[in-house]
Structure 1
């Protein structure tokens, strides 16, 4: 999943001299003891201190209207099918997507740069000489929705709260935060323990700022009471599990800041929740949903021929996906002893026949995923370079030898759906791992049968992955397919109570150690609610994640990510399956938007606007 946008806000106080607001160059070389208006991981900031708006927005976009859409991405504990809490920052419960629109942060990213952040609530940031603390000057005009001032005390309280009580998305990156201190009402210091990576701060400055008074009075648990926010939207109409509306805050304190121009244009952002994707699709056809991204190739190929499309009232088109590493794969849970052996994991991978599935179910619209960092420069190719080997050689004997050859590729079948050669290889691998045929299934020397349950909450997967299950059964694995309701599925994911699941994620354009820790580090393997679904707990992998964290420039980051990709692919913790290189979207032709879309995000709900003339032409005025 891609992360939805945060508000991108940058403005200069009238009394602040531009000469004192210096852009950050290479982050490690950023000047200390100097107020900065932005930070960049490796390169110069694109936007100068005096810029008027981001290039990808229409600064004159009109305000108004309702945008009712089906979210295709979500973060934290959010769920696109139902919700039972309005607290999106804890592990417990299912929150509605886009709750983050209600909260501001210290700084925010530009969507056409891979690794930069600009001032939002914080007007400037100053780096200490030892680079272990950061001092933020907060804007005095910042306000919560009830009119109370947003102060450094609120920000300090928020960071401490998210470290102790927040979901792993927050608590893991905050592990090295030693203290958050409000020196005065407008001055916040974040102090680290010296063990943090240099780029960690770029993740933390996007965290939500909460109201200390609100949480002390009402608590930080789940429930249908929204937390007090400060962002461009606030929670409006709510029907638990069915509908949520976010209302644009007319007197939003940051609405006139330069980087807010052209954003947050709809008066209301509405999400209706459907347990079945088909019901969501029918809502688009009826005009109840205005924008929908399709995720099923069969539907994209044959279903979008309804009258409104033929009449031109609904637009069907593709947009390029983001320039961000993408992972779509099946995770084998190594917390189950029977999946510890790499040969068992590799054997299971041989049972997925992509070529047959592509021809029979996908209409040729997908491509085979090979890497966990697809569609990016971080996907390893060919043999390791000398720089990659320099990182990997100390790990020889500790990681699979396959990692030192050509980058591991997924097997290619004959397209029959029951490739005898592939299944024969899978059977041999199981036997080498000690699983011998005994009747219909294989057993180990303890007489235990090798069982596997493929868990999902999506009915559509039953058609696509049933052949995969049948191939596993053909080689002696007692494999089953189980569909559960979405809340149960989310609970089981958080508790790692599954054998195999299918997941899809987008990583940051400039991955950090904290990003990688969530998915692949020993530290996250036993922490409920992380994304380490495979249960990877390998000191060698940890060492490569450390190398990602200490990369001093983009070239060394690419090298470290290549080495990590090679080792993860050779370990067969995850089975890459398939991906789509474009967004498949359909929308009622009543909106304006600027093209091309930004390279690193696609938040239509904050960038598009209602075009009243178009709406009138299709009867939607």
Structure 2
């Protein structure tokens, strides 16, 4: 399963932050031109003015020190939590370790207690041109790479040009409308666009990590690199054992360590990640104290596994933290690049075979809720009948999008909880018959005599266990269904090249999604780009147009309408089979850390916000 975050979450994964004494923030769409701005937001005023001293969600007096050894719960770009074979996280190929973003700064960066605001980091200010198609960044002259060399506008221009040409799709696609990245002088960068970009495109692009030009002039820009590209962030790569362990060491003389929004962040001297191919092995390492923090994604272990001595004695804390206030999706993609999955009736029939109610009761210990929306847990989830505003967007496509779009928002029907709901399986059988699949010798075949086969690709035996009842239901109605478990490297390679029938992905979106963020999952152009997250291969002009409407929204109400309309079409198309979600983070950790509550609403980077508490560690014998 792939768990991904939007590009704007490079802050949450370790990019540093800074603020500059410029004019107070204005809504991005209404931001003044021709003057330096210290921050931008998609809609509304910025929370933090030019004279703020630190973010509210940090402890400015947090001590520095200690080692944080954890299992990353999320990752971006080509990163893989199970293994790694490259330290170049900017390309589509290869497996990079999570948290490489800790090593790089960006032009601007997000605050985790605001839904869409960004503040200057490498750039002390940004000036918008009168036509709003170019942005001039005044870079901080004190910015330095880890080798002491200056970080200049040439480095930034080179990085954007490189990403636009050969970068990972998450970096490449938003740069579609970038026409030029130019160094005006050593400390002034200009990004120019063709006028077709969304305002919120810029919010993503401005948070891209910036490696050194000198590194990629001397080294190939591919997945062969087990030497870390040179960065300027609060951490640098330390000890590395390929595929097994990576350590990130705090940079003692980090150029931005005293900037206001860095106060209270990046407190651990060392961040260590150990890689386990097997979930149970990782859990055993946590029980022994080799791993110090984990989020639990296996409901069976959460319900029955936390009874070991260290927890009973109070050395380990088991608790829940509120989830972020942002949309998410966990769903199974059926690959429409394969002809047998192009008929929506086939996809709907496959979905009807999944008995969530039985699975939740018998395998999940009642820990989850059924996902229905593409944008679950958010105001962007469509409910009931379309509103007049939604209909205004949808009506032009009547006859070209499913008729179900115009009725109640499509939901996956609940089962009777038996594990083999005869009514739902009967509906699935009728849908497959209508799609031209007839049962012969116990299996479904089309007019060419080809069988209807479906292989679910997984990289963990937990999903083999979870999906086995679903597979058995598919087999009961004549689908030649199976699960194929492969190692993490093969899994990532097959996902990147779209070499699968069905695959699961979990995605967390920004609280204020940009057009480009949605593009990579649903737009036609992403379907052809290997490494993108358009795993079903969705190609639909109506979807593309609705994504354009998302990008054109100038206020939150308009954005919400466009997102709900998009949700309706995606759900009616049955491109993704919704899985399940949890309302909270289920976390366990050795009681040796300090942290401030409540957590921020839009991110949970414990490795960046928490700190080592020597007194707590001494009490549990973890000095």
TM range (shorter): over 0.9
TM-aligned CA deviation for residue 188 of structure 1? 0.3
TM-aligned CA deviation for residue 8 of structure 1? 4.3
Helix, strand or coil at the partner of 2:175: helix
Provide Cα deviations, 1:576-605, integer angstroms capped at 9, x if missing partner: 011111111110000000000111110000
Supply the distance in 1 between the matched residues of 2:450 and 2:83 (Cα, whole angstroms). 38
- In the alignment, which residue of structure 2 is the partner of 1:489? 491
TM-aligned CA deviation for residue 10 of structure 1? 2.0
Deviates more, 1:435-444 or 1:211-220: 211-220
Indicate conservation of the 8 Å contact 2:15/2:103, yes or no.
no
- In the alignment, which residue of structure 2 is the partner of 1:34? 35
Deviates more, 1:219-228 or 1:582-591: 219-228
Supply the distance in 2 between the matched residues of 1:383 and 1:24 (Cα, whole angstroms). 38
Supply the distance in 2 between the matched residues of 1:432 and 1:183 (Cα, whole angstroms). 62
- In the alignment, which residue of structure 2 is the partner of 1:86? 87
Work out which of the residue numbers 533, 536, 540 in structure 1 matches 2:535.
533
Deviates more, 1:240-249 or 1:25-34: 25-34
Supply the distance in 2 between the matched residues of 1:598 and 1:250 (Cα, whole angstroms). 26
Matching of residues 17-416 of structure 1 within 5 Å: 18=21, 21-222=22-223, 223-416=225-418
Indicate conservation of the 8 Å contact 1:125/1:136, yes or no.
yes
TM-aligned CA deviation for residue 197 of structure 1? 1.1
Indicate conservation of the 8 Å contact 2:16/2:234, yes or no.
no
Helix, strand or coil at the partner of 2:156: helix
Indicate conservation of the 8 Å contact 1:6/1:108, yes or no.
no
TM-aligned CA deviation for residue 165 of structure 1? 1.5
Provide Cα deviations, 1:3-38, integer angstroms capped at 9, x if missing partner: 4434342233xxxxx5xx223322111100010000
- In the alignment, which residue of structure 2 is the partner of 1:15? none
Helix, strand or coil at the partner of 2:493: helix
2:519 counterpart of 1:511: no
Deviates more, 1:601-610 or 1:212-221: 212-221
TM-score by length of 2: 0.98
Supply the distance in 1 between the matched residues of 2:25 and 2:409 (Cα, whole angstroms). 36
- In the alignment, which residue of structure 2 is the partner of 1:10? 18
Supply the distance in 2 between the matched residues of 1:338 and 1:24 (Cα, whole angstroms). 52
Supply the distance in 1 between the matched residues of 2:565 and 2:277 (Cα, whole angstroms). 40
Indicate conservation of the 8 Å contact 2:14/2:608, yes or no.
no
Indicate conservation of the 8 Å contact 2:166/2:172, yes or no.
yes
Helix, strand or coil at the partner of 1:402: helix
Matching of residues 595-606 of structure 1 within 5 Å: 595-606=597-608
TM-aligned CA deviation for residue 391 of structure 1? 0.4
Indicate conservation of the 8 Å contact 2:16/2:233, yes or no.
no
Provide Cα deviations, 1:532-589, integer angstroms capped at 9, x if missing partner: 0011000011111010000010000000000000000000010001111111111000
- In the alignment, which residue of structure 2 is the partner of 1:425? 427
Matching of residues 586-597 of structure 1 within 5 Å: 586-597=588-599
Supply the distance in 1 between the matched residues of 2:218 and 2:521 (Cα, whole angstroms). 35
Helix, strand or coil at the partner of 1:575: strand
Supply the distance in 1 between the matched residues of 2:315 and 2:545 (Cα, whole angstroms). 54
Indicate conservation of the 8 Å contact 2:334/2:502, yes or no.
yes
Helix, strand or coil at the partner of 1:123: strand
Indicate conservation of the 8 Å contact 1:54/1:259, yes or no.
yes
Work out which of the residue numbers 551, 556, 565 in structure 1 matches 2:558.
556
RMSD of aligned Cα (Å): 0.8
Helix, strand or coil at the partner of 1:271: strand
Indicate conservation of the 8 Å contact 1:233/1:246, yes or no.
yes
Helix, strand or coil at the partner of 2:577: strand
Supply the distance in 1 between the matched residues of 2:170 and 2:246 (Cα, whole angstroms). 23
Helix, strand or coil at the partner of 2:70: strand
Indicate conservation of the 8 Å contact 1:7/1:260, yes or no.
no
Supply the distance in 2 between the matched residues of 1:74 and 1:199 (Cα, whole angstroms). 22
Provide Cα deviations, 1:271-314, integer angstroms capped at 9, x if missing partner: 00000010100001000000011101111000011010000000
Gaps of 5+ in 2: none
Supply the distance in 2 between the matched residues of 1:280 and 1:614 (Cα, whole angstroms). 24
Helix, strand or coil at the partner of 1:70: coil
Provide Cα deviations, 1:451-478, integer angstroms capped at 9, x if missing partner: 1001110110111110000101111111
Supply the distance in 1 between the matched residues of 2:148 and 2:351 (Cα, whole angstroms). 56
Helix, strand or coil at the partner of 1:292: strand
Supply the distance in 2 between the matched residues of 1:336 and 1:404 (Cα, whole angstroms). 28
Supply the distance in 1 between the matched residues of 2:447 and 2:15 (Cα, whole angstroms). 58
Supply the distance in 2 between the matched residues of 1:137 and 1:577 (Cα, whole angstroms). 45
